[in-house]
């Protein structure tokens, strides 16, 4: 994979209102999918935000080891990682909220979920700490380029 920095990178920020809220809109993820598709035709995409989706241990449909060049893992670090280190891991094993829509989004667009898949996220930290408990509902997704 080459480092072609001539293509633009589209940074897309998302906030999905919690499912069940009177403001929730089930078409949000379809809209995001369309927008991401348009952006991908012009350049790379980094999608980040609070998706209010707990996807548990669902894995990337593409092997995370393909992301080594995307996240710029130095070769010295890559050589010391166990073979399974780049497989997506998640300490939040629950699936709730918009999880089906979120999973459809990343599978349809071909984006990679970076959470729990990069060497800097080895501890797979929670992204939401509240009086209701701990969860992972905030995600970073990216194209392979």
pLDDT tens for each residue of 36-57: 999 999 999 999 998 988 787 7
Full domain range(s) for residue 50: 9-142
Any domain includes 3: no
pLDDT digits (tens, 9 = 90+) for 105-124: 888 888 888 877 766 665 56
Any domain includes 110: yes
Summary count for the chain: helices (H), strands (E): 3, 8
| Burial readout 75-111 (b: 16 or more C-beta within 10 A, e: otherwise) | eeeeeeeeeebbebbbebeeeebbbebbbebbeebeb
Residue 94 and residue 55: Cα distance in Å, rounded?
Answer: 7
Please name the residue that has the structure tokens 């906030």: 15
Any domain includes 29: yes
Q: Which whole number is the average pLDDT over 56-85?
A: 49
28-40 helix and 99-109 helix, angle to the nearest 10 degrees: 20
| Burial readout 35-54 (b: 16 or more C-beta within 10 A, e: otherwise) | bbeebbeeebbbbebbbbbb
Any domain includes 4: no
Q: How confident is the model at residue 102 (pLDDT cuts 50, 70, 90)?
A: confident
Q: How confident is the model at residue 11 (pLDDT cuts 50, 70, 90)?
A: very high
Any domain includes 1: no
Q: Count how many domains the chain has.
A: 1
Look at strands 9-15 and 133-135 and give their pairing: unpaired
């Amino acid at each position: 994979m080459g480092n072609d920095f001539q293509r633009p990178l589209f940074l897309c920020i998302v906030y999905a209102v919690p499912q069940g809220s009177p403001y929730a809109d089930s078409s949000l993820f379809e809209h995001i999918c369309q927008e991401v598709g348009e952006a991908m035709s012009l350049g790379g995409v980094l999608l980040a935000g609070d998706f209010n989706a707990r996807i548990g241990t669902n894995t990337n449909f593409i092997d995370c080891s393909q992301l080594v060049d995307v996240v710029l893992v130095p070769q010295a670090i890559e050589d010391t990682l166990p073979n399974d280190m780049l497989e997506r891991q998640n300490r939040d094993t629950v699936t709730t909220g918009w999880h089906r829509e979120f999973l459809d989004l990343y599978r349809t667009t071909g984006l990679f979920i970076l959470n729990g898949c990069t060497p800097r996220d080895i501890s797979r930290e929670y992204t939401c700490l509240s009086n209701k408990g701990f969860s992972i509902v905030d995600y970073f997704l990216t194209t392979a380029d």
